[in-house]
Structure 1
């Protein structure tokens, strides 16, 4: 084989090596992007869970305040009923 033939062989091998590397890198990028989608979904889900938890905490606080008010009224009513006896 002459120098020109060897240059063609080396060029062809280099070209196919480049194509293979590009395919491998492309598949890695595609997999990482595909994996990134669920992460954003989980982030949104976690943010929603935090909002729901904060709302539940607010409602629980309001319920505790109402219960304290009811206990105060019941205690007052009990005192009144004891005074009537």
Structure 2
């Protein structure tokens, strides 16, 4: 018969990040690539978000991809 094993105690060396990115809430600033209605990648400029969205659209044309502007709260669909 084996002795009971002890479970290791998790050690937390780093504090948790203060800002936790959530995919179900729109960001407060910047631009976000929206894939099939879900927020994915955040960018500082609209051009960077659109370039990333167009790259994704070229590799996966069936996806519905748009850009969300957090300042105006407007979604723009890429075609």
- Report the TM-score when normalising by structure 1: 0.20
Structure with greater contact order relative to length (CA < 8 Å, sep ≥ 6): 2
- Report the TM-score when normalising by structure 2: 0.22
Query: Which structure shows the higher helix fraction?
Result: 1
Larger radius of gyration: 1
